[in-house]
Amino acid sequence: MNTEMRLQGKTAIVTGAGGGIGGATAHRFASEGATVILVDIDAVRCREVLGQIVGSGGQASCAIVDLTSETQVVELFSNVLREHGRLDILVNIAGGDCEPAASVEEIDPERAMKNLDMNLKSCMLCCREAVKIMKPQGHGRIVNMSSLVYRGSPNQFSYSASKGGIFSFTRSIAIALGGFNITANALAPALVEVDAFVRALGPDRWKMLAEASAERYPLKRIAKPEDVAGAALFFASDDASFITGQILEISGGARL
């Protein structure tokens, strides 16, 4: 039996680690032997996840950072280089939608820009700083969080634009960085069961949304954060060493 851990000896940054998908990814990476730096703007939730990981024997630390701030992102990566001396894996998960369910006529420039900042700008800044460490190492794995709405959405305009942008950006850096043995891939989940939705919608509306979505998906359920964490692990591991510039739909077959 092969019991080897898939990320043994690797140093990984997981952003959005205080959230549902980021938390599950940080847990999974730590359980596969990585030293994980959990990054989030939400100190309480991030430290909660850190406590669980460390409590179950994982190697981890956390950094409270607003990833839309260039200064804070630069500081984060310089601290990681100083403390760990390397960075093997960057998983950009932080993000969200602050303009959901608006009609085209209701697009609000401020909220639209916030979506672009929170999703796309934060991802670009983190990739830029990570590459400064990964290039001299001659090795790196970048996994960016898109969404199934990269294909388009009837009511998430700035959000889908930001997630489509993340896919194009990921392909572009994959082309530019392949010669340095750095891969870059993107994740595109359909609806994932996270607490943030229950908090935002309330349990009843959430239940209706989850059930209606599950009914439409061929696998007849929505995703769990662990489904996405498994896909992130694949892209971050040696199993995906010849895969770059791709987007992986974690969708239970939605929109086939």
Ligand X SMILES: NC(=O)c1ccc[n+]([C@@H]2O[C@H](COP(=O)([O-])OP(=O)(O)OC[C@H]3O[C@@H](n4cnc5c(N)ncnc54)[C@H](O)[C@@H]3O)[C@@H](O)[C@H]2O)c1
Q: Which is nearer to ligand X, 34 or 187 (CB)?
A: 187
Give catalytic status of residue 217 as yes or no. Answer: no
Question: Which tokens go with 80?
Answer: 């990681």
Interface residue list for ligand X (CB under 6 A) = 16, 18-22, 40-42, 45, 65-68, 93-96, 118-119, 122, 145, 147, 189, 191-192, 194, 196
The span from the CA of 73 to the CA of 239, in Å, is: 29
* Cβ at position 34, least distance to ligand X in Å: 19
Q: Which is nearer to ligand X, 47 or 171 (CB)?
A: 47
Q: Which is nearer to ligand X, 135 or 151 (CB)?
A: 151
* Cβ at position 51, least distance to ligand X in Å: 15
- Of all residues in the shown chain, the one whose CB is closest to ligand X is 19
Q: Which is nearer to ligand X, 107 or 196 (CB)?
A: 196
The span from the CA of 45 to the CA of 116, in Å, is: 23
At residue 188, φ and ψ (nearest 5 deg) are -130, 80
Question: Which tokens go with 247?
Answer: 């987007």
* Cβ at position 132, least distance to ligand X in Å: 20
Token pair 């999974």 is at which residue? 28
Q: Cβ(56)–Cβ(49) under 8 Å?
A: no
* Cβ at position 45, least distance to ligand X in Å: 6
* Catalytic residue, candidates 77, 150, 159, 217: 159
Token pair 């229950």 is at which residue? 198
Q: Is 123 helix (H, G, I), strand (E, B) or coil?
A: helix
Query: Cα–Cα distances in Å, from 171 out to 1, 117, 124, 153?
Result: 37, 19, 12, 21
User: Which residues participate in catalysis according to the annotation?
Assistant: 159
